[in-house]
Structure 1
């Protein structure tokens, strides 16, 4: 079963003790506050679905110092199943990754009936929920711990995009984007492994690299493991890409390029490919890029083709031998490239030099 990505909380007699509209002096219970903090530290987002007056309830959440934990809220008089559906849609999460906590059996039953993929928990179980495997991600990275901040930044970014009336390129420039490319370290490896596992549409081969395999590449002087992160005026995007590449010789071997789908609209893949093109050209090398077509990575193939990669033969192919295992090796005759005009690029020394 998938790990929960978002926990949706009821308020009265769930997050806090008492009923707000009945004038109770409600307080967040110690157990609920502990679970809020624990889930947040694990990168699990949290939201509210409550039958209450919105302004009154939200003011109380702010007064109690917990409003910032919630990235979405449906507070009003809609049925809970519809509130949960809207939250899942807003966050772009499958309902199978949503959990719902409520003290009322009738409310849980209504959600279970209309949203059968949502996991429902009795509020009486709050003290034990933090120990459930469903709420314990196998990996917690630095990006995971900052997930709430990244979602808030994304919401502000999306709002700005909706208000923008000019060309998309002008909007991208207005973001003051910064892309940082750096050599991966041990601290990056959990996130790099996660990117190779979870990225599908913008993954050139669909191959998952384990931590052991990544460590072996880090220790190999012929290989480069590069991690790509982005940020803009709204906040961080976090680590959004990984490059696994063998350098040296007449052709650099690009074994894996994967980028998060959430930065496709900003041209991140194209900027990264142009940088690799430029670095290889300065080293006097071509690039041979592994590509394996999957059901979902058509966008990655388009990015390669648009950047000039072809199936053309070249003498440099002989050095790598037969690809096999359904792999294509796309070839690029490299050329020095100008810096991007839509973002600032912070990159290490040329990728082919010593670390």
Structure 2
């Protein structure tokens, strides 16, 4: 399904999709085969009127291949619904809870002379109230939360002095967001309307007349620009975030055609406005890579000639910055399939950028799950055109994000070596792998949580534990929590797997096991299981119990427990009797001490 056209005209006309603005009409689905859409219950509430926002959210869901069943709290009943366990909100048990706050409900009317310490205490109290609300929603109904925070009011009062006044509304809002961001957020996706106001225009998107007349959180005319922002938050909530940026070359990363113009003829670097614009776009792409976005090339080109473009003086990017390089004369859809396979990620994790409208149309038709950006016009506008999609919106960084590009480059090097190996054991042995499976340190807990939240393929139960839950498991000495790291001769992959097993009488019950796709099929899972067996035997555990819950993406580990010697004991239950274990599983990973 390609992206739906979205304009100010289409928003009020969603009566065919939404009845009374609250729920999808059963049987009235104008977007193709309803069975191909994922069903999702979305509840919208807050301190604003959300009817028009609900229509934009419905469009955003459809564009993400979701058929939403949308409900809303009555205006003014937001907190009652959250605090009352018998409210309709909890009876609905939504999958997604969308909260929309206005600035008036978040700031305190305090004297301008209030000290920084007193302001901080006021904000701490407000932050704790919001965190408590998030915790209540997360624990009592299991909903993923998308919380919209407003821009500051548009009046500047005394100018620069006001910006740095601790008691100012602007400072209060900024401090509140920072407090919330730095806390345990229970997987909440924060939408910052303050940043949106800077990009779209505060007066255009948040005109005071709309608030006073209807308590609208955003102008109807700004809803088309809001939809991709909501879609990005939705992908974050559903763990379907985009991971890779795939780029064309000619007239995308440089001006001109490398095969015709040669290295000297393409435009990149300094000397004129066009060359500088292409260099700026490459710098932007490089910044994304530095923040964990995987880069790849998909170009109709001779590969040897194409790579010479990165040797030109002024090119910010180099061939080594790309984890996959698909240059051929085949169609782009086929090239993107190859790239996804090489990177071992889903097609829906890709964003494809090309200046050719025909190529973009082909990809939209053949691979609608891929985000597609058609670069059009002046290269000075390319950054803005990519940014309009809000494709890559992280809530927090981890140290592993900054090393992801290098990690995928190491994976590519290992795969290249595999092609030259005579057999699989020889290849695995040649990698010289060193592994650890140890209790997480304090500095690793954020990454432990992130792996569970983001990993979809090697994820046996997809439970998505938050930091509080992980710490709860670690607080019980009977449980086993393993943070598993891997190195090979190409470099350090870092913490790439997490296993959590809960003690149940004489059993260890595996409640989470995740692994990064970068290190699949290297016998690292056997290494980790050997360590779990060793720990279990030391503690006189009788059995290790594993469960598998199938999803659309984790079929790669459907037979994992069988391969590890477990015996099936139910539809999704596998058991390893430790009395039957006589030798460790074969692995090509050597243990190293912490």
Aligned position for 1:266: 522
Note the C-alpha offset of 1:232. 1.2
TM-score where L is the length of structure 1: 0.76
| Secondary structure in 2 matching 1:208 | coil
2: CA distance, partners of 1:118 / 1:250: 47
C-alpha spacing 1:131/1:41, structure 2 compared with 1 (3 Å): farther
Note the C-alpha offset of 1:213. 1.0
Corresponding position: 1:169 with 2:425 = yes
Aligned length: 330
Aligned position for 2:284: 35
After superposition, the C-alpha distances for 1:212-269 in whole angstroms (9 at most, x for unaligned) are 2113334455544320011211233432321224579866555434444654533222
Question: Would the aligned equivalents of 2:500 and 2:512 in 1 still touch at CA under 8 Å?
Answer: yes
2: CA distance, partners of 1:347 / 1:310: 34
| Secondary structure in 2 matching 1:243 | strand
After superposition, the C-alpha distances for 1:121-164 in whole angstroms (9 at most, x for unaligned) are 13255322346432224454333322222222222222222322
Question: Would the aligned equivalents of 2:292 and 2:404 in 1 still touch at CA under 8 Å?
Answer: yes
Question: Would the aligned equivalents of 2:337 and 2:347 in 1 still touch at CA under 8 Å?
Answer: yes
Aligned position for 2:265: 24
2: CA distance, partners of 1:339 / 1:52: 46
Question: Would the aligned equivalents of 1:218 and 1:224 in 2 still touch at CA under 8 Å?
Answer: yes
Aligned position for 1:321: none
The structure 1 residue matched to 2:311, chosen from 62, 66, 72, is: 62
| Secondary structure in 2 matching 1:66 | coil
1: CA distance, partners of 2:323 / 2:453: 26
Larger radius of gyration, structure 1 or 2? 2
Aligned position for 2:253: 15
C-alpha spacing 1:299/1:192, structure 2 compared with 1 (3 Å): farther
The structure 1 residue matched to 2:392, chosen from 104, 125, 135, is: 135
2: CA distance, partners of 1:143 / 1:332: 36
Aligned position for 2:412: 155
1: CA distance, partners of 2:461 / 2:361: 43
1: CA distance, partners of 2:499 / 2:558: 18
2: CA distance, partners of 1:201 / 1:111: 24
After superposition, the C-alpha distances for 1:60-85 in whole angstroms (9 at most, x for unaligned) are 21332412222223335444444334
| Bigger mean CA deviation after superposition, 64-73 or 225-234 | 64-73
Instruction: Considering Cα pairs closer than 8 Å and 6+ residues apart, tell me whether 1 or 2 has the greater RCO.
Output: 1
C-alpha spacing 1:279/1:62, structure 2 compared with 1 (3 Å): same
Question: Would the aligned equivalents of 1:278 and 1:336 in 2 still touch at CA under 8 Å?
Answer: no
Corresponding position: 1:121 with 2:338 = no
Aligned position for 1:333: 578
Note the C-alpha offset of 1:27. 0.6
Question: Would the aligned equivalents of 1:42 and 1:137 in 2 still touch at CA under 8 Å?
Answer: no
TM-score where L is the length of structure 2: 0.48
Corresponding position: 1:74 with 2:331 = no
Corresponding position: 1:185 with 2:441 = yes
After superposition, the C-alpha distances for 1:158-202 in whole angstroms (9 at most, x for unaligned) are 222232224x33432222111112321343234322433455665
Give the superposed CA RMSD.
Answer: 3.5
C-alpha spacing 1:199/1:303, structure 2 compared with 1 (3 Å): farther
- Structure 2 unaligned spans of 5+: 1-63, 65-239, 270-277
C-alpha spacing 1:52/1:44, structure 2 compared with 1 (3 Å): same
Aligned position for 1:293: 548
Note the C-alpha offset of 1:59. 1.4
C-alpha spacing 1:145/1:345, structure 2 compared with 1 (3 Å): same
C-alpha spacing 1:265/1:175, structure 2 compared with 1 (3 Å): same
1: CA distance, partners of 2:487 / 2:353: 34
- Structure 1 unaligned spans of 5+: 312-325, 349-355
Question: Would the aligned equivalents of 1:48 and 1:75 in 2 still touch at CA under 8 Å?
Answer: yes
C-alpha spacing 1:13/1:208, structure 2 compared with 1 (3 Å): same
Aligned position for 1:102: 354
Question: Would the aligned equivalents of 2:460 and 2:512 in 1 still touch at CA under 8 Å?
Answer: yes
2: CA distance, partners of 1:286 / 1:30: 60
Note the C-alpha offset of 1:345. 0.5
2: CA distance, partners of 1:264 / 1:92: 9
